[in-house]
Structure formats: structure tokens, C-alpha cells
């Protein structure tokens, strides 16, 4: 599960002045990775009990369950772990001869219809293609009943109309397959009414079981840091205070409000910042400084919560120097030469050319990825990684410049 930076600038964090330079060389592995690795997942005892109950419900069939939480609270992380765990072990606890674990995300659907949803399921369960939903329903129902099979469908990262549609289709399939079908849907907490309305329109009026992922406690935050340091250094134990002071951890936890993704983002920034200063550990002041430098707030108008969060993270996750370039771009539509002089001052011709080429290369990547830099009322800059369709949505509305609809905001396209 890559974060937005990994997708947009795959190798930018390893390039410095055109030379390959791996950051954090003392780490054998990346402590800030967002890959869904079981050894890095931190959860409370309460959540562990809830997941155990969820498995009990799912294994008996005739169930539609939900996992919900705030944006980037760890829903997809948990869904990935569930997918692997159910594939490996559910057969031990369920009274079925065959079990199929099918996982879908919103990226896998080019169109939303019951026929398309059933075709995707039939492809994985039956290994066949049928052109009509009636054919699929007959064959799928006959197969799961004759083979005593349980079909478990995991649906992750759906929102808006797509969440409504996929919830509706899940309810309709449940009514057809009954004890041979279970489904788990994950969504943002604010989207629960959308999913519930979809279920009701599909003929099912409630979730069989619900899990809400709570924010991390301070102790869980410390355990998250400890596990990541152990992972990065390939050690079985580690004292967190060797890298982060107690006050630094508390400040990052407070500002993240217990959201694991934001906590990791702040700690990563603070660690890089302290390293550049030559500090041996991250202090409370380092955390405060990076929070002040790079706001985690998002633009509030025109975008849904999911989009706002993802776009903001492009800026939050860029390496320190590249973020400085973006901060400078907010003040003027500058050239690579102007930015280089602003960042580095007077340099020898050799050094200048090296810095200039690095800046020019970064600006080129911004343009290639359709990046828009946005100026807010308070002078804070925002960086948006946009595909052409989303760029058009932001910059135009009914043929008019969308910037005029944002009170006090100005768009600057690099």
C-alpha cells in the first residue's frame, strides 16, 4: 500500500544533485514505510477482540460487516492483513469445504453495475466469463451450494456514489447466496450513511457487525515507533528515547490526534530535520518546527475529505529541499535559476550547475505530473498531485476558472 509520494515521485527521495544517495543509511529498511506489514501493525486489545468477533461472524456466512474510521486511520492496512489472514486460516474455523476470499478496491472497477460486480466475482471463483448477471447468479449459486463453499468478499477504499453502489450490490448478492456469502466493507466514518443507504436499497437493512478503528493512545503511539525502529534496524528490541525524546513523541501524538498516518508523517519529517541539523536525536523543538513549517491542514472547499487528505500528503511527504522549492513557488512563478539562487545563494560555477540541474529536474517532474501549487489566505502553500481529469475539475467549473470560487485562494500552475 504505497502512499501518494511513492506513486508520484517514486525515486525522488533517493536523488540528490543527480547522484544516487540513499537517505537514512543507518537504517537497513525504511522505518516510515506504509506497506501493510504484519510486524508493523499496532492495535489495541479492544480492536483485537473486535477483529476476533468479526471473524466469528464472517465464518458463518450470511453477513455484511463494516470497518470504519477516520481518513488514514489504518482501515486499508487492517483489510490487507485480514485478506491474508483469512486466506491462510479461515478454513480451520469454518464449516465449509471450500472458502474463497475475494478482494476488490475502487481502482479495479472501470464501471459500476451489478453485472460488472458479479463478473469480477465469477472470474475469481468460477474462472469463467458470463455476459449476463442472470447467468452468473444461476451458476454461482449452483456452485457454492453444491460444493459447500463460503464466498467472502472484501471491499476497500470506496466512497461516494461508488460506495453506495457497491453496498447495494453486496446486499443483493447476500439475499441470493445467503449462508454461502459474507462481505466486509471498509469506509470513512463520515460515509457510513451512504453505505447503509446502499444496503437498504439492496434489500438489507443493517450491518451484521461493525468495527470502528479508534485513534492511537499515547502508549500505542510509542509502541508504533518502537516496532518501526526495530524493523528498520533489524533489532529485536529498541529504546525509543534513543531517537525521539518523550516530549517529541507526545507533541507528535497530540498534533496527529492519534492518527497513525499523520503521526508517521510528522515523525519522518522531524527525524529528517534533526539529521540535517546534525542532532543525535529528535527533540520537542524539532517536532514543533516541522509542524510549523509544513502544515497538515487541508483546503476545505470543493473537495471531499478523502481527496483533501491525499493531496495534502504530497506536500507533507516531499523531501525537505523539494518542499522548499514548492514554498518558494507560492510567492512567484519562478524559474529554476531564480529558485537555485534563492535556496543556495552565491556558489562556484561547478556547485551552482549541480544545484541548478537538480532544481530544474524537480520542476520538470512537477510539470510531467500535472502539479498545481496553490496559495492560501495565510500564505500557506499546498501541492496537489493531479491527473488531467482532476486538474480540469479543479481549474474549471462550467467553463469558468475555479480559482474565483475559492475565497482568497490563487492557483499557480507550474
The predicted-structure confidence for 285-320, as pLDDT tens digits, reads as follows 999 888 766 555 433 344 444 444 444 555 555 666
In a domain, 84, yes or no: yes
Quote the CA–CA distance of 364 and 371 in Å, as a whole number: 10
Grid cell digits, residue 151: 464466498
In a domain, 120, yes or no: yes
Quote the CA–CA distance of 84 and 100 in Å, as a whole number: 12
The pLDDT of residue 347 is: 76
Residue 89 CB neighbour total at 10 angstroms: 12
The pLDDT of residue 361 is: 80
- Which own/partner contact pairs does 87-96 have at CB distance under 8 Å and 24+ positions apart? 90/55, 90/58, 90/59, 90/150, 90/152, 93/55, 93/59, 94/59, 94/60, 94/150, 96/61, 96/148, 96/149, 96/150, 96/180
Grid cell digits, residue 407: 475565497
Quote the CA–CA distance of 104 and 210 in Å, as a whole number: 19
Phi/psi-derived region of residue 278, left when phi > 0, alpha when psi is between -120 and 50, beta in every other case: left
CATH of the domain at 162: 3.40.50.300
The pLDDT of residue 132 is: 92
The pLDDT of residue 72 is: 79
In a domain, 121, yes or no: yes
In a domain, 199, yes or no: yes
The pLDDT of residue 372 is: 59
Q: Dihedral sign, CA of 143, 147, 150, 155?
A: negative
In a domain, 35, yes or no: no
| Alpha carbon distance, N-terminus to C-terminus of the chain | 28
In a domain, 80, yes or no: yes
In a domain, 358, yes or no: no
The pLDDT of residue 320 is: 61
Element (H, E) at 75: helix 75-89
Backbone angles phi, psi at 67, to 5 degrees: -120, 120
The pLDDT of residue 183 is: 96
The pLDDT of residue 301 is: 43
The pLDDT of residue 335 is: 80
Number of domains in the chain: 1
The pLDDT of residue 178 is: 93
Domain range for 177 is 43-212
Distance of CA 68 to the CA centre of its chain: 14
Contact 187, 213 (CB under 8 A): no
In a domain, 81, yes or no: yes
Parts of the chain with a pLDDT under 50: 1-25, 297-311, 377-386, 396-414
Amino acid at each position: 500500500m504505497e502512499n501518494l509520494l511513492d506513486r508520484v515521485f517514486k525515486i525522488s527521495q533517493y536523488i540528490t544533485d543527480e547522484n544516487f544517495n540513499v537517505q537514512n543509511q543507518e537504517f537497513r529498511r525504511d522505518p516510515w514505510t506504509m506497506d501493510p506489514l504484519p510486524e508493523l501493525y499496532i492495535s489495541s486489545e479492544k480492536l483485537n477482540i473486535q477483529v476476533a468477533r468479526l471473524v466469528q461472524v464472517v465464518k458463518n456466512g450470511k453477513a455484511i460487516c463494516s470497518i470504519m474510521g477516520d481518513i488514514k486511520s489504518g482501515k486499508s492496512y487492517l483489510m490487507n492483513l485480514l485478506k491474508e489472514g483469512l486466506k491462510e486460516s479461515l478454513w480451520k474455523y469454518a464449516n465449509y469445504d471450500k472458502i474463497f476470499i475475494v478482494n476488490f478496491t475502487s481502482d479495479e472497477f472501470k464501471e459500476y453495475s451489478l453485472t460488472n460486480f458479479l463478473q469480477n466475482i465469477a472470474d475469481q471463483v468460477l474462472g469463467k466469463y458470463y455476459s449476463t448477471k442472470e447467468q452468473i447468479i444461476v451458476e454461482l449459486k449452483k456452485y457454492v451450494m453444491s460444493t459447500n463453499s463460503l464466498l467472502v468478499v472484501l471491499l476497500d477504499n470506496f466512497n461516494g456514489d461508488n460506495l453506495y453502489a457497491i453496498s447495494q450490490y453486496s446486499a443483493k448478492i447476500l439475499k441470493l447466496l445467503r449462508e454461502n456469502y459474507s462481505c466486509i466493507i471498509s469506509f470513512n466514518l463520515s460515509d457510513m450513511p451512504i453505505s447503509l443507504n446502499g444496503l437498504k436499497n439492496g434489500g438489507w437493512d443493517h450491518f451484521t457487525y461493525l468495527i470502528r478503528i479508534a485513534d492511537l493512545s499515547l502508549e500505542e503511539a510509542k509502541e508504533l515507533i518502537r516496532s518501526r525502529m526495530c524493523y528498520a534496524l533489524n533489532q529485536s528490541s529498541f529504546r525509543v528515547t534513543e531517537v525521539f525524546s518523550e516530549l517529541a513523541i507526545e507533541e507528535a501524538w497530540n498534533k496527529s490526534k492519534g492518527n497513525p498516518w499523520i503521526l508517521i508523517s510528522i515523525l519522518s519529517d522531524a527525524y529528517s530535520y534533526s539529521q540535517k541539523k546534525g542532532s543525535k536525536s529528535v527533540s520537542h523543538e524539532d517536532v514543533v518546527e516541522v509542524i510549523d513549517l509544513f502544515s497538515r491542514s487541508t483546503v476545505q472547499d470543493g473537495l471531499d475529505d478523502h481527496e483533501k487528505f491525499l493531496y495534502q500528503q504530497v506536500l507533507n511527504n516531499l523531501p525537505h529541499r523539494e518542499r522548499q522549492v514548492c514554498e518558494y513557488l507560492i510567492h512567484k512563478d519562478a524559474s529554476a535559476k531564480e529558485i537555485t539562487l534563492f535556496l543556495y545563494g552565491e556558489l562556484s560555477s561547478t556547485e551552482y550547475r549541480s544545484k541548478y540541474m537538480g532544481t530544474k529536474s524537480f520542476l520538470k517532474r512537477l510539470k510531467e505530473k500535472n502539479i498545481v501549487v496553490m496559495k492560501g489566505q495565510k500564505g500557506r502553500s499546498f501541492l496537489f498531485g493531479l491527473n488531467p481529469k482532476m486538474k480540469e475539475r479543479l481549474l474549471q467549473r462550467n467553463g469558468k476558472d475555479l480559482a474565483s470560487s475559492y475565497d482568497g485562494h490563487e492557483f499557480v500552475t507550474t
